[in-house]
A = this chain, B = another copy of it.
Amino acid sequence: MGLIEVWAPNAARVDVEIGGARRRLEKRPAGWWRSETNLARHGVDYAFFLDGDGPLPDPRSAWQPFGIDPPSRLLDHALFPWTDRGWQPGPLSAAIVYELHVGTFSAEGTCDGVQKKLDHLLSLGVTHVELMPVSTFSGRRGWGYDGVDLYAPHEAYGGPDGLKRLVDACHARGLAVILDVVYNHLGPVGNYLARFGPYFTKRYASPWGEAVNFDGPGSDEVRRFVIDNARLWLADYHIDALRLDAVHAIFDASALHILEELAQETEALSARLGRRKYLIAESDLNDPRLVRRREVGGYGIDAQWSDDFHHALHAFLTGERAGYYRDFGSLADLSHALQHAFVYEGQFSPHRGRRHGRSTAGLPGRRFLGFLQNHDQVGNRARGERSSQLLSDGKLRIGAALVLTAPFMPLLFMGEEWGASTPFRYFTDHQDPALGDAVREGRRREFAAFGWRAEDIPDPQAVETFERSRLNWSELAEQPHAALLDWTRRLIRLRKEEPALADGRLDRVHVAWSETNGWLVLTRGPIEVVCNFRADAQRVPLPANGQRISLLASAADAEIDESAIRLPGESVAVVRGL
A residues at B contact (CB < 8 Å)? 202-205, 215-220, 248, 251, 253-256, 285-289, 292, 295-298, 346, 348, 352-358
- Cα of A348 to Cα of B221 in the assembled complex, Å: 11
Residues of B within 8 A of A292 (CB): 297
- Cα of A216 to Cα of B358 in the assembled complex, Å: 16
Total copies of this chain within the assembly: 2
Indicate if the CB atoms of A358 and B297 lie closer than 8 Å. no
Taking a contact as CB atoms closer than 8 A, the residue among B220, B289, B296, B298 that contacts A354 in the complex is B220
- Cα of A420 to Cα of B255 in the assembled complex, Å: 37
- Cα of A298 to Cα of B217 in the assembled complex, Å: 26
Indicate if the CB atoms of B289 and A255 lie closer than 8 Å. yes
Indicate if the CB atoms of B255 and A357 lie closer than 8 Å. yes
- Cα of A58 to Cα of B170 in the assembled complex, Å: 65
Indicate if the CB atoms of B285 and A289 lie closer than 8 Å. no
Residues of B within 8 A of A288 (CB): 255
- Cα of A205 to Cα of B202 in the assembled complex, Å: 8
**The 3 residue pairs across chains A and B that have the minimum distance between CB atoms:** A297-B297, A217-B353, A255-B358
CB distance from A571 to the nearest CB of B (A): 37
Residues of B within 8 A of A256 (CB): 346, 355, 358
- Cα of A453 to Cα of B289 in the assembled complex, Å: 50
CB distance from A362 to the nearest CB of B (A): 12
Residues of B within 8 A of A297 (CB): 289, 292, 296-298
Taking a contact as CB atoms closer than 8 A, the residue among B215, B217, B251, B285 that contacts A255 in the complex is B285
- Cα of A287 to Cα of B297 in the assembled complex, Å: 12
- Cα of A292 to Cα of B295 in the assembled complex, Å: 12
Q: A219-B354, A220-B354 are in contact. List 7 more A-B contacts (CB 8 A).
A: A202-B205, A203-B204, A219-B353, A255-B346, A255-B357, A295-B296, A297-B297
CB-CB nearest in chain B for A203: B205
Residues of B within 8 A of A285 (CB): 253-255
Taking a contact as CB atoms closer than 8 A, the residue among B203, B296, B354, B358 that contacts A217 in the complex is B354
CB distance from A203 to the nearest CB of B (A): 5
- Cα of A286 to Cα of B356 in the assembled complex, Å: 27
- Cα of A253 to Cα of B253 in the assembled complex, Å: 10
- Cα of A352 to Cα of B254 in the assembled complex, Å: 12
Residues of B within 8 A of A295 (CB): 296
Indicate if the CB atoms of A255 and B287 lie closer than 8 Å. yes
28 pairs, A vs B, C-beta closer than 8 Å? A203-B204, A204-B204, A204-B205, A216-B354, A217-B353, A218-B354, A219-B353, A219-B354, A220-B348, A220-B354, A248-B253, A251-B253, A253-B285, A254-B285, A254-B355, A255-B286, A255-B287, A255-B288, A255-B289, A255-B346, A255-B356, A255-B358, A256-B346, A289-B297, A292-B297, A295-B296, A296-B297, A297-B298
Residues of B within 8 A of A255 (CB): 285-289, 346, 356-358
